[in-house]
Structure 1
Amino acid sequence: MSDATAPSATRLEHFHVTFFAIVMGLSGLALALHAAETAYGLSSLASDIAYFGTIAVFVIIAMFYAAKAMRHGGAVRAEWNHPVKLAFFPAISISLLLLATASLSRSEALAQALWLAGAALQAVLTLAVVSGWIGTRSFMHGQLSPAWFIPAVGNVIVPIAGVQLGYVHLSWYFMSVGLIFWIVLLTLVINRLVFHDPLPGRLQPTLVILIAPPAVAFVAWVRLTGDAGPFGLILLNAAYFFTLLVAMQLPRIIRLPFALSFWALSFPFAAVTIASFVYAGAAGSAAHKTIGTVLLVVLVVIIAGLVLRTIRAITAGEICQPE
């Protein structure tokens, strides 16, 4: 094993919580493939491969981060105190919730265990992160980014599997919290993007996160109410607007030097893909089925590119380096 790929105490110390964004993206791919398979009546081979691959990646990343927590507790605390990385801690609970959702069609017992762990952790992290935002610490406008949506997104993911597992009232709690904070944070983030300096290069890919809250909330709304309805259509069309808005920025973003933050491109595209297939199934809309198919192709290309660039960065020793 080369020095670039061999694990070391120094590189473990810089194994950031942002790695869990990889699990979010891969989980989103598995769910999007399953949605497409359902829409077209195909076998679950592709989604099964993505699902089991995602579980393997999650286990590896969780083991490395647990090792970091045990050996470099100060580094974890530094991440918690970091104004940007703080928002990525709920990516851990979101990963559990997404895996729970993907497990529903495979093992309800596993799905329930993952969901309970993910929902409990999400509740704790949401309170802790929001307390950190409004507590004794002061944040500058330049430290605000679309990554701050991550805790809110995690809450609206909860009902997707929660309703099917029978936790309806608890799912409404998480949905309420998620929607409220999406509206609040959307106002703050748009203000920051319009009236202040552009996002730093490493944070430019987080612009894509704008797509995720309304797309995920739409799927959760359908699960909770059994119908898209007018409010569901507002959420879905908001997701489409942000997708078009982000598409105009992508040519500039993909030319930036690669960083782990590029994985922020993956889950939001998966979310709007799934939302399109869900509406296509609920309303019998061939147009939305086509939109979902096109978005799925884009998602697969994005994930393939991210995997290749991540492997290349790991091989070159560019990952887990001091910032």
Structure 2
Amino acid sequence: MTDTAPQTATRLEHFHVTFFAIVMGLSGLTLALHAAERALEMDALASDIAYYVTGAVFLVITGFYAAKALRHGAAVKAEWQHPVKLAFFPAISISLLLLATASLDRSDALAEVLWLIGAGLQAVLTIAVVSGWIGTRAFLHGHLSPAWFIPAVGNVIVPIAGSQLGYADLSWYFMSVGLIFWIVLLTLVINRLVFHDPLPGRLQPTLVILIAPPAVAFVAWVRLTEGVGPFGLILLNAAYFFTLLVAVQLPRIIRLPFALSFWALSFPFAAVTIASFVYAGAAGSAAHQAIGLALLAVLAAIIAGLVLRTLRAIGAGEICKPE
């Protein structure tokens, strides 16, 4: 009989924080399905199923990562000190915020608890990560990728539920931080993509993250101002531009060897899908509702492919192994 205990321990040690990108993708699918159900005046069956599946996946991933923190604290510290993986730590708080948003129509009390924990953790992680960026550590151009949007620009997710829960002032704080860092990091990322070496294969899927900031900021803007306005249209159309830009790159990206970073494909497409439905509802635009439905079909196909490839990679032992 083969002793699998050492192998299990090794896999736990290499259970990376990037697993929380799966929760972000599934949460995005839940919210996109709910937006489609509201637009089409359908029962919330599909989004309910996705919601409970997402919650279960979040608990499982959180349990494994907590176990890693207890048994392999040095490995967690190494991830925090890693110039690329550092940016994925706020995926934990963003997962909580997305679950809070998805909980709004199901349980306001649960939504508020999840939002308070997620917003507090997001605030702490933003300060910690940005302090790491501008501190004594030396970062190279090669370390920069669109994943850097997650820690700071991810703040624009907070107001979506926060404004509906009555935390207007806090929501504007997070919105302000997110928008400022979107401008700063977008400039840096475009500079890196144009004037320096191409992203490594494992980070190529993070290009899709370019879609998320303007798409999420648009939804947050509508929730905060209860309208679209010229600035809202700028955000929405910026999201559409980056979606078209990424669509050109997508055939090349999906042919790359699979890695967990491929889950970066999911949430941005969910964000622009939701933004389309939100604008369709606010402006009564049938065209944008059609765009939302088309993007939802693409998102469903992406999620199905990611789940299949993830399960296949787990079965083949290609995940949670030394890099």
Distance 1:56 1:262 in 2: 21
TM-score (normalizing by structure 1): 0.98
Q: C-alpha displacement at 1:307, in angstroms? A: 0.2
Q: Partner of 2:13 in structure 1? A: 13
Matched, 1:193 2:193: yes
Q: Is the 8 A contact 1:22 1:263 kept in 2?
A: yes
CA change 1:162–1:78 in 2 (3 A) is: same
Q: Which runs of 5+ in 1 are unaligned?
A: none
Q: CA deviation at 1:153?
A: 3.5
**Alignment check: 8 A CA contact 2:30 2:50 kept:** yes
Match of 2:80 in 1: 80
Indicate yes or no: 2:307 matched with 1:316.
no
Letter of the 1:41 counterpart: E
- Return the offset for 1:243: 0.1
1:154 is aligned to 2:149 = no
For normalisation by structure 2, the TM-score amounts to: 0.98
Q: Kindly state the Cα deviation for residue 154 of structure 1 after the two structures are TM-superposed.
A: 2.1
Structure 2 match to 1:59 = 59
Q: How far off its partner does 1:314 sit?
A: 0.4
User: Equivalent residue for 2:116?
Assistant: 116
Structure 2 equivalent of residue 267 of structure 1? 267
Alpha-carbon distance between aligned partners in 2 of 1:6 and 1:199, rounded to the nearest angstrom: 34
Report what 2:126 is aligned to. 126
Instruction: Tell me what 1:168 maps to.
Output: 168
**Deviation, structure 1 residue 151:** 1.2
Output one character per residue of 1:65-109: Cα deviation in whole Å (capped at 9) or x when no partner: 000000000000000000000000000000000000000000000
Cα separation, 2, equivalents of 1:48 and 1:321: 34
Match of 2:289 in 1: 289
Asked if the contact 1:4–1:315 (Cα under 8 Å) also holds between the matched residues in 2, the reply is no
Cα deviation for residue 152 of structure 1 reads 2.6
Note the C-alpha offset of 1:6.
10
CA separation in 1, counterparts of 2:153 and 2:112?
A: 20
1:215-230 mapped onto 2 (5 Å cutoff): 215-230=215-230
Give the gaps of 5 or more residues in structure 2.
none
Matched residues, percent identical?
84
Matched residue pairs, number? 322
Aligned residue identity for 1:272 = V
Alignment check: 8 A CA contact 1:93 1:154 kept: no
| 4+ residue segments displaced more than 3 Å | 2-7
Is the contact made by 1:5 and 1:314 (CA closer than 8 Å) also made in structure 2?
A: no
Distance 1:36 1:138 in 2: 45
- Corresponding residue number in structure 2 for 1:140: 140
1:21-60 pair list within 5 angstroms: 21-60=21-60
Amino acid at match of 2:214: P
